Amino acid sequence: MQYSQTKNVLNQLVADLSQLSMVIHQTHWYMRGPNFLKLHPLMDDYMSEINNQLDVVSERLITLDGTPYSTLQELVDHTHIDDEKGDFSRSISERLQTLVDDYRYLATLYQEGIEITEKEKDFGTQDIFIGFKTAIEKNIWMLQAELNQAPQIDD
């Protein structure tokens, strides 16, 4: 099967990007406290970015003759991003730390995809992975700065 490992990573991203979109939604909905007025609209931007990545990844998978997960059950069964019931008990800092952790996982998955596409010589998908990993790393830097921490991208 051509690009079989690439297709696997793409489908993993379908599940994880879908779940991350919900995590960002939850952060958006259950946010209270300092910097709310600045951070609440930022979550809209993050959701748009993740949803765009999801669309590009899914369409690339279809282009490679793959079949993206497309049911809630498939997404739940395959995501590696945790979920939790939403409430107002968590601080903005705690919510942002969750986003940092999830973005770090996503950056790692994009890196795995970069390495796999190198082996499978799928440079079109590799280009997508490189661009999205770079964007995710920028979000990590910005969230870490809001949390008064260094980006720690190489960790």
- Closest by alpha carbon to 107, among 132, 125, 128? 132
What's the average model confidence in pLDDT over 68-91? 96
Residue 1: band (very low, low, confident or very high) from pLDDT cuts 50, 70, 90? low
Question: What would the CATH number be for the domain defined by 4-146?
Answer: 1.20.1260.10
CA dist., res. 17 & res. 121, Å (int):
24
Q: How many other β-carbons are positioned within 10 Å of the β-carbon of residue 71?
A: 8
- Closest by alpha carbon to 79, among 107, 102, 62, 95? 102
Residue 129: band (very low, low, confident or very high) from pLDDT cuts 50, 70, 90? very high
What's the average model confidence in pLDDT over 133-150? 97
Residue 95: band (very low, low, confident or very high) from pLDDT cuts 50, 70, 90? very high
Mean pLDDT of the chain: 96
Structure-token pair, residue 139: 């979000």
The tens digit of pLDDT for each residue in 118-128 reads: 999 999 999 99
The tens digit of pLDDT for each residue in 52-76 reads: 999 999 999 999 999 999 999 999 9
For the chain, give every domain's residue range: 4-146
* pLDDT at residue 25, as a whole number: 97
Q: How many other β-carbons are positioned within 10 Å of the β-carbon of residue 31?
A: 19
